[in-house]
Structure 1
Amino acid sequence: MATSRKVIITCAVTGAAHTPTMSPHLPITPDEIADQAIDAATAGAAIVHFHARNPEDGRPTPDPDVYAPVIERVSAETDVVINITTSGGAKTTVADRMAAALRFKPELASLNMGSLSPYGRQRILEKFDAWQHEWERELFTAAPSRVYPNTEEMISETIRQVGAGGTRFECECYDVGHLYNVAYFAEIGLLKPPFIIQTVFGFSGGIGLAADHVTHMRGVADRLFGQDYHWSVLAPGKHQFRLCTMGATMGSNVRVGMEDNLYLERGRMARSNAEQVARMRDILTLLGLDVATPAEARQILALKGRS
């Protein structure tokens, strides 16, 4: 694993997994998403990861026109590295998934490295008596029959088209097999080093949250990629800060944000993404670790730069 004295904080500001009913602080409209992204950058995030939502009902959308005012404002008002998702819902086409990244040609795009099924997500229905929008209920009711496909063909097409604009890929690995998928795409020449590997712990259908899973994923990545990769850790909910802290002490970068976690601490909802970034920055500072600026993140990850 390539090492740096600087830890890169990524903030994932809204995502597609949480819904409006779950938190009144979840950013939904373009203005809300842009405001929270800008504040997260001010708090210390070097990278901001974007999804878009229909401003009327909060439903996730791949529409580049909805992304546009967010990307334009954040680009104009900050120096932060922009990372746009290429994931999507079970019925979202590859063309739709790529649309925003192709239009805005960001420095980074996230890329899921294998298919997933959201086992057990229907149990979220038990936690809420009422939903603001019917689509939220339908999302969780249909979970037992849903697969989020990321086939070889889909990943290959995304790498070829989005990568043609100079965008580098943050390879999201939800299980050990996804690390081997990264190695496969490297072997056939589609992915180039240094690889940006984000190991994801505790999401349904993927590897669990145990500490030895973190060390195992790092060990496999070390064997596959040697010094030719940069490592980042993310985990959901109450596990976010614990596993990010563990990863940081082992040399990883970290991801926080309301895509993954709606809380700041037990019983206290995060009122903004910036609160989570500031908390993570405080933890890193207490550990004696320096936080990377956007310019330093660009250099560490060999990104193309803002221009």
Structure 2
Amino acid sequence: MARSVIISCAVTGAIHTPTMSPHLPVTPEAIIEQAVAAADAGAAILHLHARHPDDGRPSADPAHFEMIVPAIRERTDAVINITSGGSTSMTLEQRLAFPMQFGPEMASLNMGSMNFSIHPAARKIKQWVHPWEQPYVEGTEDIIFRNTFRDIRRILIELGEGRGTRFEFECYDLGHLYNLAHFLDEGLIKPPFFVQSIFGILGGMGPDPENMAVIRNTADRLFGRESYEWSILGAGRHQMPLLTIGAAMGANVRVGLEDNLYLGRGELAKSNADQVAKMARILGELSLEIATPAEARQRLALKGAPSITESR
């Protein structure tokens, strides 16, 4: 039987800025429409950030999440995955504000503090749309993305145990797998868990395909292959090649304009759905099926959309 692949779609993120692509969804209406279209194209999981409606700045304000999440939930059965990473400039309290209120089925969780920089991108841009963008992008050269062991423990206890949320464990480096193993030993993580391996971010693992084999073998040794679902995230131009290799190796895949603004060489993606559809075509050529939201929920042991509760 053909193996089904879970497609995640990271719709807007907090990395790219409006100047970088006119197709990056930053208004509530655009985020909603692109998220729903991505789900219709085959994404079983929608990874969501919020932005300020007026100028597209990354936002942790629950009011801005309220502008997008209920509408997306009403229009699609896809799993809603809320960031707990926010952006490099947000405090942990800010990053947890909406997830703790909403209690989503899934939330992202970065597995270690790290340098996380996109500052070289600023060199290519001569004219910025909004005043906040240039200092935001250039400033990542001198920011540490904080996720200490105590931060991670707090998220696992308060959001995981307290709200029944399960996690997309974002691992940017080999050591992050060992951090994950530590919390598994502590009893704060239980299988089946979702390991998102991220390649190509400046400050994390490089996009070399050889790194994928190292990560896969290490995860198998630490966890046992039956204990986790593996997924691949390739940043920028490395997105489709790495995801294709990963799918052939048994991984799930993540696309979306948070991770890559392009559809092909020199061609901006006009929507998140464009990337989902392209990935779906590639998976079909590999004789792989696309997992439904129901299959994703079953494989990741999620609580299900009807169990989501909101505390007002």
Q: Which residue of 2 aligns with 1:187?
A: 185
For residues 264 and 45 of structure 2, the distance between their equivalents in structure 1, rounded to whole angstroms, comes to: 23
Deviates more, 1:247-256 or 1:126-135: 126-135
For residues 243 and 214 of structure 1, the distance between their equivalents in structure 2, rounded to whole angstroms, comes to: 9
What SS class does the counterpart of residue 191 from structure 1 fall into? coil
RMSD of equivalent CA atoms: 1.3
Aligned partner of 1:14 among 2, 12, 17? 12
Deviations 1:172-223, CA, capped at 9 Å, x for gaps: 0000000000000111111111121000001011111111100100110000
Q: Which residue of 1 aligns with 2:239?
A: 240
For residues 21 and 79 of structure 1, the distance between their equivalents in structure 2, rounded to whole angstroms, comes to: 32
For residues 182 and 253 of structure 1, the distance between their equivalents in structure 2, rounded to whole angstroms, comes to: 19
Q: Shift of the alpha carbon at 1:91? A: 3.8
Deviations 1:71-97, CA, capped at 9 Å, x for gaps: 111111111000000003344221111
Q: Which residue of 1 aligns with 2:286?
A: 287
Q: Which residue of 2 aligns with 1:154?
A: 151
Q: Shift of the alpha carbon at 1:118? A: 2.8
Q: Shift of the alpha carbon at 1:64? A: 1.1
Q: Which residue of 1 aligns with 2:310?
A: none
For residues 141 and 102 of structure 1, the distance between their equivalents in structure 2, rounded to whole angstroms, comes to: 31
1:134 aligns with 2:131: yes
Deviates more, 1:121-130 or 1:155-164: 121-130
Q: Which residue of 1 aligns with 2:210?
A: 212
Q: Which residue of 2 aligns with 1:64?
A: 62
What SS class does the counterpart of residue 156 from structure 1 fall into? helix
For residues 8 and 141 of structure 2, the distance between their equivalents in structure 1, rounded to whole angstroms, comes to: 30
Q: Shift of the alpha carbon at 1:263? A: 0.6
For residues 135 and 171 of structure 1, the distance between their equivalents in structure 2, rounded to whole angstroms, comes to: 30
Q: Which residue of 2 aligns with 1:259?
A: 258
TM norm structure 1: 0.97
For residues 299 and 259 of structure 2, the distance between their equivalents in structure 1, rounded to whole angstroms, comes to: 24
Contact 2:232–2:246, Cα closer than 8 Å, also in 1: yes
For residues 7 and 144 of structure 1, the distance between their equivalents in structure 2, rounded to whole angstroms, comes to: 35
Q: Which amino acid aligns with 2:40?
A: T
Contact 2:60–2:98, Cα closer than 8 Å, also in 1: yes
1:250 aligns with 2:249: yes
Q: Shift of the alpha carbon at 1:141? A: 2.4
1:114 aligns with 2:105: no
Deviations 1:206-246, CA, capped at 9 Å, x for gaps: 11111110010011000000021110000111110110111
Q: Which amino acid aligns with 2:41?
A: A
Deviates more, 1:188-197 or 1:168-177: 188-197
Q: Which amino acid aligns with 2:14?
A: A
1:143 aligns with 2:135: no
Q: Which residue of 1 aligns with 2:169?
A: 171
Q: Which residue of 1 aligns with 2:309?
A: none
1:304 aligns with 2:303: yes
Contact 2:192–2:299, Cα closer than 8 Å, also in 1: no
What SS class does the counterpart of residue 142 from structure 1 fall into? helix
For residues 24 and 276 of structure 2, the distance between their equivalents in structure 1, rounded to whole angstroms, comes to: 15
Q: Which residue of 1 aligns with 2:101?
A: 103
What SS class does the counterpart of residue 197 from structure 2 fall into? strand
Q: Which residue of 2 aligns with 1:38?
A: 36
Q: Which amino acid aligns with 2:302?
A: L
What SS class does the counterpart of residue 68 from structure 2 fall into? helix
Contact 1:94–1:158, Cα closer than 8 Å, also in 2: no
Q: Which amino acid aligns with 1:102?
A: M
Any stretches of 5+ residues in structure 1 without a counterpart? none
Q: Which amino acid aligns with 1:242?
A: P
Deviates more, 1:91-100 or 1:260-269: 91-100
Q: Which amino acid aligns with 1:209?
A: P
Contact 2:50–2:64, Cα closer than 8 Å, also in 1: yes
Contact 2:49–2:86, Cα closer than 8 Å, also in 1: no
For residues 250 and 190 of structure 2, the distance between their equivalents in structure 1, rounded to whole angstroms, comes to: 21
TM norm structure 2: 0.95
Identity over aligned pairs, percent: 52
